[in-house]
Amino acid sequence: MNKFQFIVFVFLGVLMKLNAQNPYLPEDYLSNNFHKERREALRKLMPKNSVAIIFANPIRNRSNDVDYLYHQDPNFYYLTGFKEPHSLVLIFKEEQKLNNKSFNELLFVQEKNEYLEMWYGKRLGINGAKDKLGYKDVFNGTTFLNIAIDFSKYSTILFQNLHNDVRNTREEADLYNLIASFEKKLKNVDERKINKKSLPYFMASLREIKTKDELVLLKKAIEISAIGQIEIMKAMHPKMSELEVQGVHEFVYKKYGAEYEGYPSIVGAGGNGCILHYIENNKVEVEDGKLVLMDLGAEYHGYTGDVTRTIPANGIFSTEQKQIYDLVYKAQEAAIKAAKVGSSFTKPNKVSKDIINKGLVELGIIDSENDYHNYYPHMASHHLGLDVHDASNFGKLKENMVITVEPGIYIPKGSNCDEKWWDIAVRIEDDILITDKGPINLSSKAPRTSEAIELLMKEASVLDSFVLPKLE
């Protein structure tokens, strides 16, 4: 090869590489090595002579011929990096041999289909899964339907409960048929070999400890969520609708490249804040003098933030609102400090409830710290990651876990206390990284104290001049 031929060869190689990549797509997804390492980590937990079977999420119908936006099963994505439906992966504990070929995992994917891809988007297919995801042994789903896998030779068959009753008439190897084929293959297997309990436990053991790569994405999702809270604090004013508040948050998410919301956005004004999972967000005007509870989280590349702030619509807490808010803040501060390596998962909950009960007595809302009440009806924490309520075995806190700390007080109208407390709902929620040097608040960018919130709400918003024409 002469010098000219070498230059042409290198140029063509670079050009082919550029053409294989879409320069307009994000470049910070989890790497193939991450997913491969996670499969190896699962393999180490699996018992001898076992196989794990994990299916993709089903497509869920919204109405008529419109489906919900597809979202991959977190366990499946965690292990494979594959985002398409109608697929499954088999992970074997030991190397398998067939026709002089060795393998320890098999990925089954949707078959390439030019017509369907024109309507519903490109598919990786066999070659794409090999080239872009780094898999060695990939097959079309139809192969799984027809292949005679002898599951009876394995001592343990690991999988989770299977649920899919929706047929897809456009796909021979849809999820319905893949599951049906798997169940048929288990017909002659000794039931004692079938294990539906261990795989969720193994996956929770892996997912509750975040890797370095995961923390990069999770921190970004949390930061975006916090910025959404900051922007609405500046934009908030009475007569704004709950939907407008939601829209500001979600606009910020999209602006920073977060693909989805991690869960249905909660924007509860006044008494609506007392409904813990209020998602209607249809109050057309937030009244002057009311609080607005905003529990929202951006999902960035699969990982979700979960940040709650409660703010006064008019920018100033009333005396009663401030008393309740400051009590919740005090409880949260103590609960965050209790989130240490080695502490029980429930420690932040106990610490926050003790402080809130004592405070409610001092305010005259309950008579005794031992009184039963529903003013703080939920736990203070949950794990956070690929799910907003992420997989966990809820043991002692360990380094690189990420949990929420979210105490709250909710006093609906008609409660057995002075009317001046009615319709006050406060929740403060932050996302906490557990480290051997103490807890780190990843969402601290969004102000938390009542004084800091009031100060920020005095600032101008870029949305102040954003006025749409009225509809006819």
What is the rounded distance in angstroms from the CA atom of residue 179 to the CA atom of residue 109?
A: 14
> Does residue 216 sit within a domain?
yes
Residues 21 and 64 in one domain: yes
| CATH number of the domain to which 318 belongs | 3.90.230.10
Listed residues 183, 205, 227: the one ending a domain: 205
What is the rounded distance in angstroms from the CA atom of residue 98 to the CA atom of residue 82?
A: 25
Residues 127 and 236 in one domain: no
| CATH number of the domain to which 30 belongs | 3.40.350.10
Residues 157 and 213 in one domain: no
CA dihedral sign, ordered 100, 103, 108, 109: negative
> Does residue 58 sit within a domain?
yes
Domain that holds residue 111: 3-205
Residues 19 and 48 in one domain: yes
Residues 168 and 293 in one domain: no
Residues 329 and 181 in one domain: no
> Does residue 469 sit within a domain?
no
Q: Which residues are the active-site residues?
A: 65, 277, 295, 306, 378, 382, 389, 406, 410, 427, 429
> Does residue 467 sit within a domain?
no
Residues 186 and 215 in one domain: no
Residues 78 and 141 in one domain: yes
Amino acid at 328: V
> Does residue 461 sit within a domain?
no
Listed residues 190, 205, 220: the one ending a domain: 205
User: If residue 61 lies in a helix (H) or strand (E), which one and from where to where?
Assistant: strand 61-63
The residues near 106 (Cβ < 8 Å, ≥ 6 apart) are 89, 90, 137, 138, 139
Listed residues 205, 235, 263: the one ending a domain: 205
Predicted TM-score of the model (pTM): 0.93
Other residues' Cβ atoms within 10 Å of the Cβ of residue 424: 27
Residues 279 and 243 in one domain: yes
**291-296 sheet: strands from edge to edge:** 266-269, 291-296, 307-312
Residues 227 and 370 in one domain: yes
> Does residue 464 sit within a domain?
no
Phi, psi of 368 (to 5 degrees): -145, 150
Q: CA angle 396-440-263, nearest 5°?
A: 80
What is the rounded distance in angstroms from the CA atom of residue 140 to the CA atom of residue 143?
A: 6
Q: Is 251 helix (H, G, I), strand (E, B) or coil?
A: helix
Residues 297 and 423 in one domain: yes
pLDDT, tens digit, 9 for 90 and up, residues 234-244: 999 999 999 99
Residues 147 and 237 in one domain: no
**Stated length of the chain:** 472
Domain count, the chain: 2
pLDDT, tens digit, 9 for 90 and up, residues 252-292: 999 999 999 999 999 999 999 999 999 999 999 999 999 99
Show the tokens assigned to 77: 């994505």
Tens-binned pLDDT, residue by residue, of the chain (472 aa):
555 444 434 433 433 443 444 567 888 999 999 999 999 999 999 999 999 999 999 999 899 989 999 999 999 999 999 999 999 999 999 999 888 889 999 999 999 999 999 999 999 999 999 999 999 999 999 999 999 899 999 999 999 988 777 787 788 999 999 999 999 999 999 999 999 999 999 999 999 999 999 999 999 999 999 999 999 999 999 999 999 999 999 999 999 999 999 999 999 999 999 999 999 999 999 999 999 999 999 999 999 999 999 999 999 999 999 999 999 999 999 999 999 999 999 999 999 999 999 999 999 999 999 999 999 999 999 999 999 999 999 999 999 999 999 999 999 999 999 999 999 999 999 999 999 999 999 999 999 999 999 999 999 998 888 878 888 8
> Does residue 214 sit within a domain?
yes
Q: Is 63 helix (H, G, I), strand (E, B) or coil?
A: strand
> Does residue 70 sit within a domain?
yes
Amino acid at 342: G
